[in-house]
């Protein structure tokens, strides 16, 4: 019988979230907004695709979050010769017992870094699908449950295509959101150098802020975050509008609406609120929807990308009035709250 997890209050989740972000921010400098999105994806119980150029802190981010959240961490380098069994594990013959025993693969962890996931063939990429969606692994007809929490943070290089295998739409859809970091500012890069010199070593170790059980309580607390009808209709309208855009061949599926809901709740609770406002939806729309959109082939010649579509949809869809939920007054200045997140 599964033990019931007691949800944590929104204000407590918000305080712990900021402590985790502050701890990770001591290593990953100047990327607070991107770090907030990654943590929102973890709090929402999802998986995150980190797509950016090499050397911008993707691997460091995954390891730092694992340390700050007290999670068991494994890194799997995806290569063209990697087999599905190298991910999930396999049965090996034990000469002492004359029987086959299961040797668990690196996927049996709390946080798996799937490094350069687009460098391995689709057959191996698909080994992650069941684990990401069902939180289980099937090997030789036997199903093994993955102990929660379980999250995949995958990295991909968006500009180098030689020797790579683009992720199919079905697998991209399994990622709750896609995040990019970008180059740091000059002063931020200088801080990176100073902290490296002060450490006197390459590796950085972070003390955990929470443990896996506390993280599960934080994740369970998201289910208590209220979403009024107008907000629900707003996020569904945004997702549906991507399907009708003139540049789109295939728009976001209903899983996109669910991603908006989960990430909006996570953004709200990270701000210490137990209700969602329209600005929460707007803040997560681009990372939640852009990777779920397939453009018409001719759009690439016109320099239209999925981000353009999401921004068009946001601009064209009326924002619902920020009416108050019963007993929960809205902030007097929604724009002020939005600026604090930036």
DSSP 232-268: HHHHHHHHHHHHH-TTEEE---HHHHHHHHHHHHHHH
Q: Give the pLDDT mean for 140-154.
A: 93
pLDDT higher than 60, residue 115: yes
Average pLDDT value for the chain: 89
Q: Strand 151-156 vs strand 48-51: parallel, antiparallel, or unpaired?
A: parallel
pLDDT higher than 70, residue 201: yes
DSSP 293-306: -EE-GGGGTTT--H
In eight-state DSSP terms, residue 70 is T
Separation between Cα atoms, residue 279 and residue 75, nearest integer Å: 35
Q: What pLDDT score does 161 carry? A: 67
pLDDT band at 337 (very low <50, low <70, confident <90, very high): very low
Q: What pLDDT score does 336 carry? A: 39
Tens digits of residue pLDDT in 231-256? 999 999 999 999 999 999 999 999 99
Separation between Cα atoms, residue 265 and residue 225, nearest integer Å: 6
pLDDT higher than 50, residue 21: yes
pLDDT higher than 60, residue 27: yes
Pick from 170-174, 182-186, 285-289: least confident: 170-174
70 C-beta neighbours (distance < 10 Å), count: 18
* E strand residue ranges, 82-230: 89-94, 99-104, 111-115, 136-139, 142-145, 151-156, 177-179
pLDDT band at 322 (very low <50, low <70, confident <90, very high): low
pLDDT higher than 50, residue 116: yes
Q: What pLDDT score does 127 carry? A: 86
Q: Quick check: helix, strand or coil at residue 326?
A: coil
Domains with residue ranges and CATH for the chain: 10-209 (3.40.50.300), 225-323 (1.10.8.80)
pLDDT higher than 50, residue 324: no
Separation between Cα atoms, residue 342 and residue 340, nearest integer Å: 5
Q: Cα–Cα distances in Å, from 49 out to 7, 180, 232, 331? A: 27, 9, 25, 32
Q: What pLDDT score does 333 carry? A: 44
Looking at per-residue pLDDT, the higher value among 83 and 4 belongs to 83
Residue 192 tokens read as 């990176």
Q: What pLDDT score does 2 carry? A: 56
Q: Give the pLDDT mean for 128-137.
A: 90
Q: Give the pLDDT mean for 52-78.
A: 93
Q: Give the pLDDT mean for 65-84.
A: 95
Instruction: Say which residues have a Cβ less than 8 Å from residue 254's Cβ, sequence separation at least 6.
Output: 239
Q: What pLDDT score does 334 carry? A: 46
Q: Of the candidates 286, 282, 157, which has an alpha carbon nearest to the alpha carbon of residue 231?
A: 282
Q: What pLDDT score does 338 carry? A: 43
289 C-beta neighbours (distance < 10 Å), count: 28
Instruction: Say which residues have a Cβ less than 8 Å from residue 267's Cβ, sequence separation at least 6.
Output: 36, 40, 276, 280, 283, 284, 341
pLDDT band at 165 (very low <50, low <70, confident <90, very high): confident
pLDDT higher than 70, residue 38: yes
Separation between Cα atoms, residue 144 and residue 137, nearest integer Å: 5
Burial per residue of 329-338, b for 16 or more beta-carbon CB atoms within 10 angstroms, e otherwise: eeeeeeeebb
Q: Give the pLDDT mean for 196-201.
A: 87
Contact 178, 51 (CB under 8 A): yes
Q: Give the pLDDT mean for 52-62.
A: 89
């Amino acid at each position: 019988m599964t033990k019931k997890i007691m949800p944590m209050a929104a204000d407590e989740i918000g305080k712990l979230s900021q402590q985790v972000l502050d701890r990770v921010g001591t290593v990953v400098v100047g990327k607070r907004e991107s770090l907030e999105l990654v943590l929102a994806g973890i709090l929402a119980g999802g998986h995150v695709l980190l797509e950016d150029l090499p050397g911008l802190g993707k691997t460091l981010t995954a390891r730092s979050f694992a340390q700050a959240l007290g999670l068991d961490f494994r890194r799997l380098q995806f290569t063209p010769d990697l087999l599905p069994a190298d991910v999930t594990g396999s049965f090996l013959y034990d000469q002492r017992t004359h029987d086959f025993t299961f040797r668990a693969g690196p996927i049996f962890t709390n946080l798996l870094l799937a490094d350069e996931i687009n460098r391995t063939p689709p057959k191996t990429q698909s080994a992650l699908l069941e684990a990401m969606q069902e939180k289980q692994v099937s090997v030789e007809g036997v199903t093994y449950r993955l102990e929660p929490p379980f999250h995949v943070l995958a990295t991909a290089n968006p500009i180098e295509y030689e020797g790579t295998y683009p992720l199919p739409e079905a697998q991209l859809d399994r990622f709750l959101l896609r995040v990019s970091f970008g180059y740091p500012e000059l002063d931020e890069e200088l801080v990176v150098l100073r902290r490296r010199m002060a450490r006197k070593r390459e590796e950085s170790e972070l003390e955990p802020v929470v443990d896996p059980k506390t993280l599960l309580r934080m994740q369970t607390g998201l289910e208590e975050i209220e979403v009024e009808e107008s907000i629900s209709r707003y996020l569904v309208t945004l997702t549906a509008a991507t399907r009708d855009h003139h540049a789109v061949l295939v728009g976001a599926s209903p899983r996109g609406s669910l991603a908006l809901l989960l990430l909006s709740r996570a953004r709200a609770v990270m701000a210490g609120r137990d209700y969602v406002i329209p600005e929460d939806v707007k803040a997560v729309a681009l990372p939640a929807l852009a990777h779920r959109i397939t453009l018409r082939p001719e759009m690439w010649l016109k320099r239209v990308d999925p981000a353009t579509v999401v921004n068009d949809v946001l601009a064209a869809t009326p924002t619902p009035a920020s009416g108050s939920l019963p007993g929960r007054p809205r902030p007097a200045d929604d724009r002020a709250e939005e600026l604090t997140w930036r």
